[in-house]
Amino acid sequence: MAERADAAIPEITAFAAVAQTGSFTKAAENLGTSKSNVGKAVQRLEARLGTRLFQRTTRAVRLTEDGETYLQAAQVALDSLRDAEQALAARRDEPLGRVRIDLPAGFGRLLLPSFRDLRQRYPKITLEIALTDRMSDAVGEGWDIVVRIGILPADSEMTVRKLCDLRLGLYAAPDYLIQRAPIDAVSELSAHDAVIFRGPTGRLRPWTVQDGDIVREISPSPVMVLADGQALVEATINGLGISQILDRVARPHVRAGRLVHVLPSADVDGPPVHALIPLGRRMPSKTRAVLDHLADQLRDK
């Protein structure tokens, strides 16, 4: 006895369409095929099942008893397949899985509280975050998103999205300013204690300030040098001196009364902030959700 092959889904679909419309012609129109193809599909199904599913006359197409029995099972099966397809589509579209993000130390700590909102919106996203001021290898280290402040190196392996522009300002703790003379001009900064940042290249970062109509660099004598952006902010909050800090980083501390904006007229345009994402594949919905969240948090409001 020859082994009977299982019925193909297109044949079952054709059978159900004929049963629901009562017509091979209407079934073919609904399926976007020919009446001949629908008829052949039903014939193959009947041959596999070893029974007739329809009574055919010149005026009507009616289900046989076996056809009615098979239609009930076919409808359940087709409905289950449609439900499964919808579930898989939703899973593809729903942000799901781990997203690895590399953030500058001080800037990253500014963003950390906002990730609670992201998690509430997308509970199936898991975040792995590094807070560091070193220049990481986004591709080689497997990061999904790398946020960098400043001029970007040419990199054909990355796509770039600008997140925001920054301003650089001078800030100090209220306790420090109470003990020192007021600052009314850039020339008076030399009489104050300075907390200076040492960049990844090892160079002490001078202050770039607006002095009247001129933008110039000054290199104050430091009382403390730090290579960690967050440590620089904390040292300033603790009254060790004046430091130049990115406005987005300083803003929450100013609102909380931990820092005072010193000589706002000396503020200058700072570096841009970009997100880098590896090329070579369609961006997953989980990565796009996190990227959009970062852009929204850094948008000027």
Q: How far apart are CA 61 and CA 293, in angstroms?
A: 57
- Selected from 2.40.420.20, 1.10.10.10, 3.40.50.1240, 3.40.50.970, the CATH number assigned to the domain covering 8-86 reads 1.10.10.10
Is the CB of residue 63 less than 8 Å from the CB of residue 71? yes
Question: Is the model's pLDDT at 227 over the cut of 90?
Answer: no
Strands (E), the chain: 54-56, 61-63, 97-103, 125-131, 145-149, 158-172, 194-197, 207-211, 214-218, 222-226, 243-246, 260-262, 268-278
Q: Where are the domains of the chain?
A: 8-86, 94-165+272-298, 166-269
Q: Tens digits of per-residue pLDDT, 10-60?
A: 899 999 999 988 889 888 988 888 999 999 999 999 999 999 999 988 778
Question: Is the model's pLDDT at 161 over the cut of 60?
Answer: yes
CATH topology match: 8-86 vs 94-165+272-298: no
pLDDT of residue 5: 52
Q: Tens digits of per-residue pLDDT, 30-39?
A: 888 899 999 9
- Selected from 3.90.1150.10, 3.40.190.10, 3.40.47.10, 1.10.3720.10, the CATH number assigned to the domain covering 94-165+272-298 reads 3.40.190.10
Question: Is the model's pLDDT at 251 over the cut of 70?
Answer: yes
Average pLDDT over residues 160-164: 87
State the CATH class of domain 166-269: alpha beta
Average pLDDT over residues 255-269: 95
pLDDT of residue 52: 92
Question: Is the model's pLDDT at 266 over the cut of 90?
Answer: yes
Question: Is the model's pLDDT at 136 over the cut of 70?
Answer: no
Question: Is the model's pLDDT at 4 over the cut of 50?
Answer: no
3-class SS of residue 75:
helix
Q: Tens digits of per-residue pLDDT, 64-95?
A: 999 999 998 988 888 888 777 766 665 566 78
Is the CB of residue 167 less than 8 Å from the CB of residue 270? yes
Q: How far apart are CA 85 and CA 126, in angstroms?
A: 25
Question: Is the model's pLDDT at 148 over the cut of 60?
Answer: yes
- Specify burial of residue 201 (Cβ count, 10 A radius: 0-12, 13-18, 19+): exposed
Strands (E), 48-157: 54-56, 61-63, 97-103, 125-131, 145-149
Q: How far apart are CA 133 and CA 231, in angstroms?
A: 11
Q: What are phi and psi of 187, to 5 degrees?
A: -60, -20
pTM: 0.59
Mean pLDDT of the chain: 86
Is the CB of residue 207 less than 8 Å from the CB of residue 236? no
Question: Is the model's pLDDT at 225 over the cut of 70?
Answer: yes
Max CA pair span of the chain: 105
Name which of 4-18, 161-175, 253-267 the model is least confident about. Answer: 4-18
Name which of 42-46, 160-164, 168-172, 253-257 the model is least confident about. Answer: 160-164
Q: Which amino acid is at 16?
A: A
Torsion of CA 230, 236, 242, 243, to 10 degrees: 0
